[in-house]
């Protein structure tokens, strides 16, 4: 009986973390379109996370521009706020900008409401202020 509460807690945590993983990753629930083998043979998409970074992002943008390649940047709202000129450059050079939360915090340790308000909406507002466009794509940190 002493172990019931810790066991119940572990079960609930495993359920909270495991159920979304099963539904989205394994069964594709809420996923717009899963990659098919046929599409993967014809196309490739470059995506970059965790920026913008004043050391690497300008070099990456130079490389992409010189090669005529477009990419998607999933930026952290806190870094977009700190380096708006880099986000502006991404946008002006035709790259897509997505959200990667305000900070690189694991979603599993936050409530859905907290994720939406403090990370997704806040980051979308920052990106929209800089580029004039509201981002529509989201990549959760650590893939969860």
Name the minimum Å distance from CB 51 to Zn ion: 9
Positive or negative torsion for Cα 126, 81, 136, 26: negative
Beta bridge partners of residue 74, listed in sequence order: 49, 98
Alpha helices in the chain (DSSP H): 4-21, 37-42, 57-67, 77-82, 84-92, 112-114, 122-131
In the complex, minimum distance from the CB of residue 140 to Zn ion, in angstroms, rounded to a whole number: 9
Please give the residue ranges that form the binding site for Zn ion (CB under 5 A).
49-50, 141
- Determine the residue with CB nearest Zn ion: 49
| Among 94, 62, 101, 63, residue whose Cα is nearest residue 80 | 101
Q: Which is nearer to Zn ion, 29 or 144 (CB)?
A: 144
The residue (of 50 and 121) whose beta carbon lies closer to Zn ion is 50
Hey, which residues does 49 pair with through a beta bridge?
A: 74
Min. distance of Cβ 87 from Zn ion in angstroms?
Answer: 16
Question: Contact at 8 Å (CB) between 69 and 62?
Answer: no
Cβ nearer to Zn ion, comparing 12 with 54:
54
Residue 3 CB, shortest distance to Zn ion, in Å, is 37
* Distance in Å, CB of 37 to Zn ion, minimum: 26
Between residues 50 and 53, which has the closer beta carbon with respect to Zn ion? 50
CA gap 20, 58 in Å, rounded: 36
Smaller CB separation from Zn ion, 16 or 144 = 144
């Amino acid at each position: 009986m002493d172990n019931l509460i810790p066991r119940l807690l572990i079960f609930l945590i495993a359920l909270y973390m495991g159920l979304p993983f099963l539904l989205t990753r394994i069964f594709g629930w809420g996923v717009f379109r899963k990659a098919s083998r046929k599409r993967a043979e014809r196309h490739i998409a470059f995506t970059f996370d965790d920026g913008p970074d004043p050391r690497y992002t300008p070099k990456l943008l130079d490389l992409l521009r010189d090669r005529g390649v477009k990419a998607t940047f999933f930026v952290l709202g806190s870094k977009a706020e700190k380096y708006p000129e880099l986000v502006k450059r991404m946008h002006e050079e035709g790259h897509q900008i997505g959200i990667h939360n305000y900070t690189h915090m694991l979603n599993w340790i936050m409530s859905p409401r907290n994720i939406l308000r403090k990370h997704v909406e806040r980051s979308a507002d920052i990106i929209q202020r800089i580029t004039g466009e509201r981002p529509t794509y989201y990549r959760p940190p650590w893939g969860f």
